[in-house]
Structure 1
Amino acid sequence: MNLDIYLEKDQDTVLLNVEGEIDAYTAQELREKLLPLTEIKGRQVVVHLADVHYIDSTGLGIFIGALKSAHQHGSFLKLTGITPRVRRLFDITGLDEVIEIDDHEREEAR
């Protein structure tokens, strides 16, 4: 199970492109990259998930932790490019009501 994470910065916005599966084996890597990005006041963190086709409960927990961190530090978290299968997980768990999800592609998310 592989996870690739690419980071792009543009002033106060950080775009995190995530590819692969987010599960118990790869979630720690995502946590280590994502959480520090949410700890800067005023920063917008956009996580692009178009190339993620599987997320388990551990992965969902990473996004909950990132959202809490963003609220605590005055930053902003948004998810983009979510596939229908992954989007369904956010809908079923109700996370779509607390985390901003933009279903548009990467360029439109900026």
Structure 2
Amino acid sequence: MEFALATRRGRVGTVVEVAGDLDMSTTPRLRDGLLEVVESGVRVMVIDLTDVGFMDSSGLGALVVAYKEMRARDGWLGLAGVRPPVRKVLSITSVDRVIESFDTVQDAEEASPTAS
């Protein structure tokens, strides 16, 4: 699957829909897209990884950078639709203990601090 990144207005913030493999060749576009969303001033970002089947350490790094940037701006970032191969990378690196993952975008939005 070809890499693609799209943003849309979610119920409580911005949803970033990512498709394709996250590896050294696609991570620069992922990182730039996520930082663009962060710098737009959003308070809540949900990254939908439903259509991501593979992620290497560079993709992981881009997610961590976006998470840190959101936190530095008192924002919140969650992951949605994480498939088993990607979940394994998050688990092995213990990133799943820092960045929350949810089954669906709706679940992530409902768990965000601004949902209440």
The normalised TM-score by structure 2 is 0.85
RMSD, aligned α-carbons: 1.8
Q: Which amino acid aligns with 2:21?
A: E
- Cα displacement (A) at 1:42: 5.9
- Cα displacement (A) at 1:38: 2.3
Q: Give the gaps of 5 or more residues in structure 1.
A: none
- 8 Å contact 1:38–1:77 — kept in the other structure? no
2:81 aligned partner: 81
- 8 Å contact 1:81–1:105 — kept in the other structure? yes
Q: Which amino acid aligns with 1:81?
A: G
For these two proteins, the number of residue pairs brought into alignment is 109
Identity of aligned residues (%): 32
Q: Tell me the SS of whatever aligns to 1:53.
A: coil
Q: Tell me the SS of whatever aligns to 2:69.
A: helix
- Cα displacement (A) at 1:40: 5.3
Alpha-carbon distance change, 15 to 106 in structure 1, aligned in 2, over 3 angstroms: same
Aligned partners of 1:4 and 1:10: how far apart in 2? 18
Deviates more, 1:72-81 or 1:5-14: 5-14
Answer 1 or 2: which has greater strand percent: 1
2:72 aligned partner: 72
Listed one character per residue, the Cα deviations across residues 2-28 of structure 1 (whole Å, up to 9, x for unaligned) are 311111114750001111011100001
2:91 aligned partner: 91
Structure 1 segments of 4 or more deviating over 4 A?
Answer: none
Listed one character per residue, the Cα deviations across residues 19-78 of structure 1 (whole Å, up to 9, x for unaligned) are 101110000111111013223556100000011000011000001101110111111110
Q: Give the gaps of 5 or more residues in structure 2.
A: 110-116
Aligned partners of 1:95 and 1:19: how far apart in 2? 20
